[in-house]
A and B are shown apart, each in its own frame.
Chain A
Amino acid sequence: MLKIKDLHASVEGKAILKGINLEVKPGEVHAIMGPNGSGKSTLASVIAGKEEYEVEKGEILLEDKNIDELAAEERAHKGVFLSFQYPVEIPGVSVTNFIKTAINETRKAKGLEDMPANEMLKLIREKSEMLEIDRKFLSRSLNEGFSGGEKKRNEIFQMAMLEPKLAILDETDSGLDIDALRIVANGVNKLKSKNNAVIVITHYQRLLDYIVPDYVHVLHNGRIVKSGPKELAHELEEKGYDWIKEEVNA
């Protein structure tokens, strides 16, 4: 699904990623953990195609095709989805109109006609019910005045609508209370299949109780310094990150 080889990236001349290697196979869930400033969000943004980040070296392959040169929307059309840590407010555009536009633009890029209105409505109803989203919520302006939990739930709603091959969840657990966390995690779990993959970026182990990873990677100073099974997340929760830093420095 996703192969990242020796990826170096910088923003405004400052090196952030310093040689990332990662392989994610279909059906897998990978967790990327690490202390603040280790480069987790940068990695997510670079995979999604944020232009401010300069890829200096290395490559990103999606289904064995290099996506380095693709614009963010082209990566989205190929099935990459990034759930934002801080979803952007867009006043004046409703959740429904936004998702309709996203779906139909993606279809257009694949040479398909717009999704028929009744089919779209059915899909919206189905996915919003799954995430326990109120209908009134869908006619509100995108993310405007949403609580932290509503914003994250809306991200997962969009993910459910777009059915990506590779979903990257950037700190999706931040700002969520325990009930919202459970709903969001259930949503992600329902969307999981043997044909898609999920990368969960998180600071804490909490979310990983619900979305259980196959692998856990620790990012530190722009490199993956440790990888292991899901138990590694528990160890990090207990011992913090300092021991890893020491290990790396030793």
Chain B
Amino acid sequence: MGRYVVRRLIQAIPVLLGATLFIFAIVFALPGDPIAALAGEKRQDPNIVNILREQYHLNDPLLLQYWYYISGIFLRGDFGRTFAGVPVSELMAGKFQITLNLALTALVLEAVVGILLGLWAALRRGKAIDTIILASTLLLISVPPLVTGFVLQLWLGVWLKQQVGVEIFPIAGITAGFKAYLLPGFVLAGSSIAYLTRLTRTSLVETLRSDYIRTATAKGLSRRRVIGRHGLRNALIPLVTYLGADLGTLMGGAVITETIFNIPGIGLQIYQGVYLREQPIVVGIVTILVLVYILANLVVDLLYAVLDPRIRYE
């Protein structure tokens, strides 16, 4: 198992290098001069533009620029600076914390609500509650987060506060601490909750039909034990895969939610980075996101072995 983990981590190195070079090249290939574009409609002094271009190595060929960047990271632990002169590592440290808070809130909401609803629907298969759950998940999937975000912000944020006079769900920003993440977390998790509910239901329904469940029931085990120990545990494998992959998506794909709820996370930062063609920001964030994906996948694979003792890694 230890060797397996080490091997997986070593495999991650070329993936990381490849991903950084790829992203670096993509941002490099975008049209236009990022320095000149900073000035908007006013023409910046061409002299100053050139000096800044030199300073950020923008006049050098792609591979040389990439070398400056990657050697900075490995030799000096320096992720570079933004055009505004802020060290990217400093910027990322703050942003990742915020996005991680948001993504984990979403992930927990997703796991708890999704699995419970799926469980409920599976156990009441064909009944009214099953239909209601399936219908409402369909609704949740079809409404985009842009809509749920604004609607929930207006109702649970603005309207509710105007009615009761106290802020129950903060309208925007993260200054209120943990509770500020609840509403955006739910919006972010919205469609994932729906997918997970459906996945849990299907997976559990299928498992509950298998022979070993019949055997367990025939042995006289309690219903709780049959469903919990033999049914749910076996049904969890696809769910864990889904949740693991979703963590990365939740972290990197929160641009809309972060904008609506004014959460200064990496989703927005990556968008701004691409927009301003700030390679250090884009590549730095993507590198860490790739790492998150790799680690989440590793954890998922290891969890398989815990869930299903027949799976062994050597």
A and B from one assembly?
Answer: no
